[in-house]
């Protein structure tokens, strides 16, 4: 386990920390071979290249799987705000851990990582 990610989570608001821990556990379970690191100041899952990132903001958590993944999962993202490279999950709604897991696995298995063309 990455102490840098432990620190990142503990630096966030207390009410947000359990959500971030759930997302971290989901990503660790989905990507057991990936290394946890901080990249672009965000918790990142890495295996040969960056697979997926997450980050805490004031009112939402962001997931950064890359634009190809977002396009692939577009139908499942209709309830969330998303842009070319990011998906926002508001803290006042349950975080869809199954969706996050599926996106992470897809990125890993297809090689469409964040930042890859």
Confidence band for 18, pLDDT divided at 50, 70 and 90:
very high
Asked whether the predicted pLDDT for residue 117 surpasses 90, the reply is: no
Per-residue model confidence as pLDDT tens digits over 19-69: 999 999 999 999 999 999 999 999 999 999 899 999 999 999 999 999 999
In the predicted model, what is the mean pLDDT of the chain?
A: 94
Per-residue model confidence as pLDDT tens digits over 101-114: 999 999 999 987 66
Are 8 and 38 in contact, with CB atoms under 8 Å apart?
yes
CATH numbers and ranges of domains, the chain = 3-110 (3.90.1150.200)
Looking at the whole model, is its pTM more than 0.75? yes
Contacts 24+ apart (CB under 8 A), 22-25: 22/95, 22/97, 23/54, 23/61, 23/63, 23/95, 23/97, 23/100, 24/54
User: Which tokens hold the place of 85?
Assistant: 């490279």
């Amino acid at each position: 386990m990455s102490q840098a990610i432990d620190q990142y989570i503990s630096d966030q608001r207390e009410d947000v920390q359990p959500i971030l821990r759930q997302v971290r556990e989901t990503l660790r379970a989905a990507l057991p071979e990936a290394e946890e690191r901080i990249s672009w100041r965000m918790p990142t899952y890495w295996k040969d290249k960056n697979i997926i990132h997450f980050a805490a903001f004031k009112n939402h958590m962001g997931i950064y799987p890359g634009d190809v993944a977002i396009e692939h999962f577009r139908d499942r993202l209709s309830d969330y705000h998303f842009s070319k490279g990011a998906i926002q999950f508001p803290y006042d709604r349950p975080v869809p851990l199954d969706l996050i897991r599926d996106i992470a696995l897809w990125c890993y298995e297809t090689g469409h990582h964040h930042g890859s063309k």
